[in-house]
Chain A
Amino acid sequence: MSGAASTLRDYLTTPTPRSRRHAALQRAWLAWRRLRNNPTAMAGLGIIVLIVLVAAFAPWIATHSPFEQNLNNRLAPPSAAHWLGTDEFGRDVYSRLVYGSRVALRIIGLVTVITGPIGLLIGAIAGYAGGWVDAALMRITDIFLAFPRLILALALTSALGPNIDNAILAIGITGWPPLARLARAETLTIRASDFIAAARVIGASATRIVVGHVMPLCMPSLIVRLTLDMAGVILIAAGLGFLGLGAQPPQPEWGAMIAAGRKFVFDQWWIAAIPGIAICVLSLGFNLFGDGLRDALDPKTHS
């Protein structure tokens, strides 16, 4: 066992990697090791992993169906049968919370897939091309930035129709401008470096330089920014859900759950408080992890 572990360790730390994959694995290992030495980042990662596991195994973890109503047992306080009590329709709050993690992660996943590539592409192209391309793309970005994000998302969802997918789309469309700004700033410093000049000297096209040389270097700060944004995304989705523009009943979305619990907040406070705590914890997890990731991925701190 220890023999196998030490050979794996050697494989990952040897200064002479044997193949492309080997070299890539070593880099990942180095980043992981830096992350591992950062306790707050590991705490964040722990929270995220826990929530992912909860979402994956929701049917086994939940004690009731999230949709099953029992009007004879409305607004029950926490008990052995209903660990976190029941809501206004007698549904089990704990089970709804567990299933709600799926919705939360889906929002996060899809928003990332929408905002990340758009922001990266627009920022990198604007930064590398410069001139009128840069000016045009950045003015569009400014227009999006000029509106508060929630207001813009509100307008978009009410135009598209209130449901969770449109809410995700709206959040995604309103979320890329800060990322584009960041990617552009990174690109401007990268563009001036010798290795970009070297790529031009060997005859590389602008597309190749942007995709192969500039973008990979923008990635770490963009990934970090995205993870830090996740907290905000969850809160905006919750906000939209709260206003009735996001997830529609009876879907167990955390923000919608808070909205529903609002009416009972003085007598049955847990109905609103519990999903609120869940949102806080997930946001905290992404924030801590994002902070640690920034240090781990920074190519300037190679050792």
Chain B
Amino acid sequence: MTGPVISVRDLTVRFGASVAVDSATFSVGKGESFGLVGESGSGKTTVLRVLAGLIRDWTGAASVAGHDLKRQRPRSLARMAQLVFQDPYASLHPLHTVDRVLGEVAAIHRLDNPNERIEAVLLAVGLGPEFRFRFPHQLSGGQRQRVAVARALILEPTILLLDEPTSALDVSVQAEILNLLRRLRAERGLTLLLVTHNLAVVANLCERLAVMRRGRIVETMDAERLRRAEPEQAYTRQLILASRGYDRANAAEIAFETEVG
């Protein structure tokens, strides 16, 4: 395949009267790691949910792994792209063991050798066989997120959609999960689409990023420019400033910009 793995053109999503995503256009190449950055209400998660097939009411054009998203059945889309949710405490069924979570995916898609696959995928995300029959409440936050990643990986998709995968986790656990995602991407040639509000996480994991604000993409840039703090848009500069920590002098500038914007 030569074209982009994810291609989104003029994507617009409306919830009632409000426009959650306003003609967003971007594309992600094969094996690339792309960040979608924005604050709450920017529409970044909505884009991700469209690509995962969770939101079906949208206009524009979008393709995943070369297939038109509008024509995909949920089950075949599942094999191409998988989503990891923000909060591992909410994304795992409280009454299902790890084994059941993974076994269900295998059963739905009639994978051969489910037992071997479950053990292999658990090992791949750094969980030993002793975790297989545990319930979510017997796991730490980081372990839960590893299970969520394992659930996404057992179908061997080419694309991993990540919705704030570390924002509910402690700093030390965040580092572990980021390292895990980097390793899995290298091993499996995955394409990553990472949605986050944390610019440092994007700088760590992505090559390119798009900054979203109020449903629109305001800027698409290389991560290298982010690291050098050389954005084109004032809004992106504010985000960079704000994420460096607190500075009384910045506060006035940021406040001014957001009230004007």
Give A contacts to B, CB under 8 Å: 15-20, 22-23, 27, 193-195, 197-205, 208, 212-213, 216-217, 299, 302
Cβ contacts A to B, 7 pairs, < 8 Å = A23-B134, A197-B91, A198-B92, A201-B54, A201-B78, A201-B82, A213-B93
Q: Give the CA-CA distance A17 to B133 in the complex, in Å.
A: 6
The 6 tightest CB contacts between A and B, nearest first, are A203-B78, A203-B75, A194-B90, A194-B91, A17-B133, A16-B130
- Counting contact residues on chain B (CB < 8 A from A), the size range is 35 or more
Q: Which residues does chain A contribute within 8 Å of B93, judged by CB atoms?
A: 195, 199, 213, 217
**Which of chain A's residues has its CB closest to B99's CB?**
A20
Q: Which residues does chain A contribute within 8 Å of B94, judged by CB atoms?
A: 195, 217, 299, 302
B108 at the interface (CB under 8 A from A): yes
Q: Give the CA-CA distance A193 to B54 in the complex, in Å.
A: 13
Given the interface pairs A23-B135, A194-B87, A195-B93, the reply to whether A200 lies near B54 with Cβ below 8 Å is yes
Q: Give the CA-CA distance A195 to B151 in the complex, in Å.
A: 12
B 70-104 contacts with A by CB, 8 A: 74-75, 77-79, 82-83, 85-87, 90-97, 99-100, 104
B40 at the interface (CB under 8 A from A): no
Given the interface pairs A20-B99, A202-B78, the reply to whether A197 lies near B133 with Cβ below 8 Å is no
Q: Give the CA-CA distance A202 to B154 in the complex, in Å.
A: 10
Q: Give the CA-CA distance A16 to B134 in the complex, in Å.
A: 6
B85-A299 in contact (CB<8A): no
Q: Specify which of A20, A195, A204, A217 is in contact with B91 (CB 8 Å cutoff).
A: A195
B92-A20 in contact (CB<8A): no
Q: Give the CA-CA distance A204 to B77 in the complex, in Å.
A: 12
Q: Which residues does chain B contribute within 8 Å of A216, judged by CB atoms?
A: 95
B 113-156 contacts with A by CB, 8 A: 130-131, 133-135, 137-138, 148, 151, 155
B109 at the interface (CB under 8 A from A): yes
Q: Which residues does chain B contribute within 8 Å of A208, judged by CB atoms?
A: 104, 108
B75-A22 in contact (CB<8A): no
**Which of chain A's residues has its CB closest to B107's CB?**
A208
Q: Would you give the shortest CB distance from B219 to chain A, in whole angstroms?
A: 29
A20-B97 in contact (CB<8A): yes
Q: Specify which of A20, A202, A299 is in contact with B155 (CB 8 Å cutoff).
A: A202
Q: Specify which of B52, B83, B109, B137 is in contact with A302 (CB 8 Å cutoff).
A: B137
**Which of chain B's residues has its CB closest to A299's CB?**
B94
B104-A22 in contact (CB<8A): no
B133-A202 in contact (CB<8A): no
Q: Which residues does chain A contribute within 8 Å of B53, judged by CB atoms?
A: 200-201
Q: Which residues does chain B contribute within 8 Å of A203, judged by CB atoms?
A: 74-75, 77-79, 105, 108-109
Q: Which residues does chain B contribute within 8 Å of A212, judged by CB atoms?
A: 104
Q: Which residues does chain A contribute within 8 Å of B135, judged by CB atoms?
A: 23, 27
B134-A15 in contact (CB<8A): yes
A18-B133 in contact (CB<8A): yes
Q: Give the CA-CA distance A201 to B53 in the complex, in Å.
A: 7
Given the interface pairs A202-B105, A204-B104, the reply to whether A17 lies near B74 with Cβ below 8 Å is no
A17-B134 in contact (CB<8A): yes
B104-A202 in contact (CB<8A): yes
Q: Which residues does chain B contribute within 8 Å of A205, judged by CB atoms?
A: 108
B82-A20 in contact (CB<8A): no
Q: Would you give the shortest CB distance from B164 to chain A, in whole angstroms?
A: 12
Between B52, B87, B138, the greatest number of chain A beta carbons within 10 A of the residue's beta carbon is seen for B138
A198-B83 in contact (CB<8A): yes
Q: Which residues does chain A contribute within 8 Å of B86, judged by CB atoms?
A: 194
Q: Which residues does chain A contribute within 8 Å of B105, judged by CB atoms?
A: 202-203
**Which of chain B's residues has its CB closest to A15's CB?**
B138
Q: Which residues does chain A contribute within 8 Å of B91, judged by CB atoms?
A: 194-195, 197-198
Q: Give the CA-CA distance A194 to B133 in the complex, in Å.
A: 21
B109-A299 in contact (CB<8A): no
User: CB-CB contacts of B238-260 with A at 8 A, as 1s and 0s?
Assistant: 00000000000000000000000
Q: Which residues does chain A contribute within 8 Å of B155, judged by CB atoms?
A: 202
Q: Would you give the shortest CB distance from A190 to chain B, in whole angstroms?
A: 10
Q: Which residues does chain A contribute within 8 Å of B138, judged by CB atoms?
A: 15
A19-B90 in contact (CB<8A): no
Q: Would you give the shortest CB distance from B125 to chain A, in whole angstroms?
A: 16
Given the interface pairs A20-B97, A201-B53, the reply to whether A195 lies near B90 with Cβ below 8 Å is yes
